[in-house]
Structure 1
Amino acid sequence: MAIKNFQGFRKPVKKEYDAPILVEDYMCKRLVTFTPDQSILAVMEAFAKHKISGGPVLDDNGFLVGIISEADCMKEISESRYFNQPILDKSVEKFMSKNVETIPHDTSIFDAAGIFVQHNRRRLPVMKNDILVGQISRKDIVIAALKLSGHNYK
């Protein structure tokens, strides 16, 4: 026996989703930045003062040339201990990561999560037209996912 449906024709409902899901909606825009000639000791002090674990390194023209992190500072701490010397005023340029992975400002947070998994980074500089406009961290992605957890995506 066939099942009969007594409902009339229904117009398909198009779900409109207008919540922000892009990296630029969740990134940190006010950054603590560093310069290549800055001392590693000054960077460590800035990390403690601002309660951060890393930041972008910009040249004199404001272009991204590297990233300095707590892990990079550990190299200096380790070397100074090994040679039984105090932490010296060596420049950031010696310790920073120069091969920087970046992320475009218009990347979705879902794609950004995949990039974080693939590259195993804690933070990524956000670029728009080759200019640094912010930084996104793993924590920012988690917060975005929590805000969007009640929605369905197509």
Structure 2
Amino acid sequence: MKAQDIMSRRVITVRRDTELKDAIAAMLEHGISGMPVTDENGTLVGMLTEGDLLRRSELGTERHRPRWLEFLIGPGKLAAEYTHAHGRTVADAMSASLHCATPDMPLQQVVDMMERQRIKRVPVLDQGRLAGIITRANLLRALALVAPTLPASLPTDEEIRQQLETELAASAWAPRSMLNLVVQKGEVHLYGTILDGREREALCVAARNIPGVTAVHDHLVWCEPTSGMMVEEPPEPDQPGQRGA
């Protein structure tokens, strides 16, 4: 899947010379938390987001630091922060640092960029012109469309076991050599030893995601490497219609 497959092509933008109050009104009107900023020629020059509006003099939330720390930071950065907190145009408050995608960029690279840069939206540029934008909402919509469905015919127990074996073999975290997988009538039984408690849930998730699996039974034992303490598997949940004693 590529960026152009999920991006929003209708992009709400704002000019860099727009009054900040008008930009805020536009964000509220359209129900968006950020928008690209362009210059008078339509060239992308920055992003204005809710995060850029947290430190504002009107709210009394501008940064206040000890004098000794201000001395270390230097006047240049302090001056930039003052402009950011007191400015009246979009150019004063926007983030000029841009992280963009192209229409044919693989979605994996887009998500890697969003995580690495800790951003919630990525403009998509086609030959330097703004062609769309990808937000976390776009990713959720794409995920909803490709959610796995059961095949027309259910796989056999052996096919389920083989699919799970293949999935775990491709996962660097899976302690494959210490596991025993048993499948009976579509129900997966996980036996063996794990060295990290988080592996338990990951193994259960991997099993549940195999088409045709109707239940997953956790019989794993957690061995804490440092202390050697052994933690038995959790009790099986009550079956529907049953009550605890």
**TM-score, normalised on structure 2?**
0.48
Higher Cα radius of gyration = 2
Structure 1 gap segments, 5+ residues each: 1-20
Q: Which has the higher contact order (CA 8 A, sep 6+)?
A: 1
Which of 15, 22, 27 aligns to 1:47? It is: 27
Q: Note the C-alpha offset of 1:74.
A: 2.2
Matches within 5 A, 1:33-44: 33-44=13-24
- Runs (4 or more) in structure 1 with deviation over 4 Å come to none
| Aligned partner letter, 2:42 | G
Q: Matches of 1:91 and 1:68 in 2, distance apart? A: 11
| Residues 93-114 of structure 1 deviation map (CA, whole Å, 9 limit, x = unaligned) | 0000001111111112222222
Out of 108, 111, 116, the residue aligned to residue 109 of structure 2 is: 111
Q: Which ranges of structure 2 fall in alignment gaps of 5 or more residues?
A: 62-84, 150-245
Post-superposition offset of 1:33: 0.7
**1:4-153 map, 5 Å:** 21-76=1-56, 79-82=57-60, 90-150=88-148
Amino acid at match of 1:35: R
Identical pairs, percent: 25
The one-letter amino acid paired with 2:92 is K
The residue type equivalent to 1:121 in the other structure is I
In structure 2, relative to structure 1, the CA distance for the partners of 1:129 and 1:52 (3 Å cut) is: same
Number of residue pairs matched by the alignment: 126
1:145 partner SS: helix
What TM-score do the two structures reach when normalised by structure 1? Answer: 0.74
Q: Distance in 1 between matches of 2:127 and 2:92?
A: 28
AA aligned to 1:65 is: V
8 Å Cα contact 2:87-2:93 kept in structure 1: no
Q: Tell me, yes or no, if the aligned pair for 1:54 and 1:70 is still in contact at 8 Å.
A: yes
